[in-house]
Homo-oligomer: A and B are copies of this chain.
Amino acid sequence: MATLPGYSGAAEEFLQRSRAQIGDVLEVRTDWGTVRGTLVPRYASSRPSHIVLKLPSGYNVGLDLERLRGARVVSKGEKPGFSAPPPPKSRKGLPRVLVLGTGGTIASRVDYRTGAVHPAVSAGDLHSLIPEISEIASITPEILFNVFSENIRPSHWSKLALRVKKAVAEGFAGVVITHGTDTLGYTAAALGFALSGVPIPVLLVGAQRSSDRPSSDSALNLVAAVSVAATSEFTGVYVAMHLDDSDERVAIHRATRVRKNHTSRRDAFASIGVPLAAVWTRSGLEQVLQGLPPRGQKGRFVPRTRFEEAVVLLKFYPSMPPSMVTSVAASKTRGLILEGTGLGHVNSEVVSAVRGLVRKGVFVGMASQCVNGRVNLNVYDTGRDLTRAGVVPLEDMLAETALVKAMWALGNAKSPAEASGWMTENLEGEITSRSLD
C-alpha cells in the first residue's frame, strides 16, 4: 500500500498485478497504443480510475483504467521522496537556484480533500517529480510558508522580498517562487515594486492543475522558471506560466502587467497591454523583449519591502451606494483604489463621498474595470469632477497592480505626497506611455 500512494481500488490492483512501484518506468498497453513513462504518485484526484505516468518530456499523462490492457515494468526506479530521499548529486558548475515554496498546487502534493498538505519541495522530491530540473541548476529548496494563495497577504509579500534580498547576498543565480495561481498576479506585482533593481531574475510560477492530474502544467512551468532563473541574461521579477494549449512554450510575463484571465485554463495568465518579456521553449528563450535590465549591473540593491495593508479596492457598479465609500473613511484606511466604469467613472453620489475621503487625507486612485485600456478623466464631466475631488487617474495600470502599488507606496514613502507621486510614475513597467489606441 505504502508503495502506491494515492492509488486505491481498481487502479491499485492493476498496478499491484504488474508489481509496479512509484518511480518505476512502465510500458502500458492501451486501446490506442503503448505509452512509456515513470509511475508517479497521485493526490486529490477526481478520477480514481486513472494511473498517472510522467512522460520523458517531463509532462504527466493520466490513463483511464478502462482503456488499459496491461502494463509491464521496464526498469525499476528510485522510489520518490515521501520519506525524505537524499537530494540528487549536483553536477559541478551548475548555476545555483533557490526554489521557495509558499503553498499552492505546483510542487506540492496537497490532498485538498482531506486538507492534509504535503509540501514537496525537498530537493529529493523535486528531483523525483521533475528529474530534469536537476540537470539545469543546482537547486536549494526551501519552504517559506505554506498557505492557500487566497490567504496570502502583504506580510507574506514582505517576507518573500526579504528572503530574495538575502538570496542575492548569498550569491544565488536566480530565485523561483512557487505560488498558488489565485493571487499569483498580486504577489508578482508586490515583488516587482519591492524588489526594484534586483540584480538576479526572480520567477514566480504556479500550476493551474495539480501534478497528479492528466493535464497538469506544473512540470513544464517549473522547468521553464528554473531555467530562466538559472541562465537568463536579464534580471527583474517575472511570472512563468503556459503560453498556450501546447506543452511546448511558457510565457514569461512582466510582474506588474500580468493577470489571471481564466479560472481553469493552463494558459490563464496574460500580459495586459504589453508584449511578453520572453517565451521559453526547451531549445531556449525566444522573443526576448529589448531593454530588460541585464545581469551584472553595478549599484547597490536596496529593496523597499514594507506594505500598508489598510488600502481598499472597490469595484463600482450601477447604484453603488456612497456608504460603501464612507464606511471606508470611517476606518483607518489610508488608500482606496476605485475600479470605475469605462474611462474611470462612478456615479455622482460616489463622487461626493470620494471628495470627503480625499479631504481626510486618504489617497484615492482610479483604475478601470474594463481591464484593457487607459483611464482618462479629461473626457467627460464625471471625470473632471473626480479630478477636482482629488482622485488620481492611474493611466493604464491594472486595478490589481494599482491596489498593490498603493499598499507599497504608502508603506514605504516618507510622506503622502511622495506616495502619491510614485503612484503616477512608471516604476516597474506598470504604466505604459500613452498611445493613440
Contacts and interface: CB of A to CB of B under 8 A. Distances in A.
A309 interface: yes
Nearest to A215: B436
Contacts of A373: 262-265, 268
A182 B342 contact: yes
A316 B151 CA distance: 11
Nearest to A316: B150
12 contacts: A46-B379, A112-B379, A150-B316, A151-B348, A181-B342, A182-B341, A182-B342, A182-B345, A263-B342, A263-B375, A264-B343, A268-B373
A167 interface: no
Interface string A247-265: 0000000000000111111
A150 B382 contact: yes
A261 B270 CA distance: 14
> How many chain copies does the complex carry?
2
Contacts of A344: 263
A372 B261 contact: yes
A9 interface: no
A148 B381 contact: yes
Nearest to A105: B380
A318 B112 contact: no
Nearest to A400: B317
Interface in A326-349: 327, 331, 339-348
B382 A148 contact: yes
A115 interface: yes
Contact of A380 (B148, B265, B331, B371): B148
B371 A371 contact: yes
B263 A374 contact: yes
B263 A317 contact: no
B339 A115 contact: no
Interface of A: 46, 112, 115, 148-154, 180-183, 186-187, 260-265, 268, 309, 312-321, 323-324, 327, 331, 339-348, 368, 370-376, 379-382, 400, 403, 437
A317 B403 contact: yes
A320 B382 CA distance: 28
B317 A381 contact: no
Residue among A153, A319, A331, A374 with max Cβ neighbours from chain B (10 Å): A319
A322 B437 CA distance: 39
A101 B149 CA distance: 46
B153 A318 contact: yes
Given A150-B316, A180-B342, A263-B372, 10 more contacts: A148-B380, A152-B318, A182-B341, A183-B318, A186-B318, A260-B341, A262-B372, A265-B372, A313-B320, A323-B331
A264 B112 contact: no
Nearest to A148: B382
A321 B331 CA distance: 11
Contacts of A346: 150
A44 B181 CA distance: 45
A154 to B, nearest CB: 6
Contacts of A321: 331
Contacts of A316: 150
A264 B376 CA distance: 9
Contacts of A148: 345, 380-382
Contact of A309 (B180, B262, B319): B319
Contacts of A348: 151
Residue among A46, A339, A347 with max Cβ neighbours from chain B (10 Å): A347
Contacts of A151: 347-348
Contacts of A149: 341
B112 A368 contact: no
A370 B262 contact: yes
Residue among A341, A348, A375, A381 with max Cβ neighbours from chain B (10 Å): A341
A263 B381 contact: no
A112 B370 contact: no
